[in-house]
């Protein structure tokens, strides 16, 4: 824990800002939109990745334990012949 730096000020009239609600509201709405958009993008990427993962595993389950897809195709043709 660092020690606090206590500073003396004699001009407490320095801060006279009363706040501008209109400006705050605009900034709030823009920031809210931005945050909603980035949440949506993250969610969309997540769904795509999850779909790809599911597809990969369901497809891999039909494949033989060894051998490539080409070998599988050749095997099918040979069986038909």
Partner 1 sequence: MRDQETTIGIQKEKAWIEDSKRDIQAFESLYMKYYPEILRFIYRRTDNQMLAEDLCANTFYKALSNIKKYEFRGKPFGNWLYRIAANEVNKHFKNKQPVFVIDYHSISESLGIPENNVPNAEAQLQLAFAQLSDGEIKLIELKHFEGYTFKELSLQLGEGESAIKMRHYRLLEKMKNILNQGDEKD
Q: Which of 55, 75, 51 is nearest to 64 (CA)?
A: 75
Q: How many residues bind partner 1 (CB under 8 A)?
A: 23
Applying CB under 8 A, does 32 fall inside the site for partner 1? yes
Q: Is 18 in the site for partner 1 (CB under 8 A)?
A: yes
- CB distance 63 to 69 below 8 Å: yes
CB nearer to partner 1: give 2 or 62.
2
Question: Alpha-carbon distance 47 to 55, whole Å?
Answer: 12
Contact residues toward partner 1 (CB under 8 A) are 2-10, 12, 14-15, 17-19, 21, 24-25, 27-29, 31-32
């Amino acid at each position: 824990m660092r020690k606090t730096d206590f500073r003396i000020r004699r001009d407490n009239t320095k801060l006279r800002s009363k706040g501008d609600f209109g400006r705050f509201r605009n900034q709030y709405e823009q920031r809210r939109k931005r945050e909603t958009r980035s949440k949506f993008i993250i969610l969309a990427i997540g769904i795509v990745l999850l779909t790809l993962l599911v597809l990969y595993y369901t497809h891999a389950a039909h494949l033989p334990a060894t051998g490539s897809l080409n070998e599988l195709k050749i095997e099918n043709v040979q069986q038909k012949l």
